[in-house]
Amino acid sequence: MNAYIKGQIELFQKVNRNRGRLLVSCSDQPGIVSAISQFLFSYQANIIESSQYSTNPEGGVFFIRIEFECPGLKEKAKEMEEQFAAIAETFSMDWKLTHVYHVKKAAIFVSKELHCLLELLWEWQSGDLMADIALVISNHEEARDAVEGLNIPFYYIPANKDIRAEVETKQLELLKEYDIDLVILARYMQILTPDFVAANPNKIINIHHSFLPAFVGARPYERAHARGVKLIGATSHYVTNDLDEGPIIEQDIARVDHRNDVDNLKKIGRRIERSVLARAVKWHIEDRIIVHQNKTIVF
């Protein structure tokens, strides 16, 4: 990591040293917001942002994301988590309390196509992607210069289906060594095994080169062109063991017509992929996503 980016992260941590985020999901019932607000008030916390949603006020599921400022948060954090656990038990909550000063560590996996990787690196350099990109792993060498030019460790690990278990063992060791919070598949063209996915639940974000569920699998643009589609798009989702079936985080589209050949469709598609993946990653690192069943609530 170069000195400029390191300085940006240190400034961010200083500014947000007392900033916390609380994500909650549970059965909808009276008193949830009151209990959370009273809890935060008891620690002199000031709510900065609050977003909530209920699938149905009568027997539905309630979701809330709260961002707050709390003096001395680092010193209070352990006690706050212990005390909130009692409230969570009362309402049968699934919950997560995060601290903004903890900048998430990300690993990027990439193959030959670099457009999504380069977009993430640009957002990171500009300070708009507030994460610690700790390493990049690739089964090809194409990305090495761009990555090492920013003083990010680059690991070339050739991969194919015949050595997948051996490759993933090396990858998991690196993720553990660097204490990675998030894995970003920036057009990494290898299928991950169930063991790898199970080791990183809701921590692997993929970009798919079509507007799911249409044109799943190989050669999507060729098939889209042959079908004469009028819309193409991209989908970013969490990775599960069901190929390209994980909870969708973000999607976008562009209009096309008969004038667009396959190469032109691919260029348009790459532009969409870059922005869709970047937004999904930002929302994850900002703790804006709650996964519920096979869907996401994005605040």
For 85, the token pair is: 């656990």
Q: Pick the catalytic residue from 162, 244, 252, 261.
A: 244
Label the pairing between strands 154-156 and 231-238. unpaired
Provide the sign of the torsion angle of the four alpha carbons 101, 15, 107, 193, taken in this order. positive
User: Which of 149, 157, 151, 150 minimizes the C-alpha distance to 175?
Assistant: 157
Helix (H, G, I), strand (E, B) or coil at 162: helix
Q: Which residue has the tokens 């209070």?
A: 76
Q: What is the DSSP letter of 185?
A: E
**CA dihedral in degrees (239, 241, 244, 248; nearest 10)?**
-50
Q: Examine the residue annotation and report whether 244 is marked as an active-site residue of this protein.
A: yes
Any idea which residues carry the catalytic annotation? 244
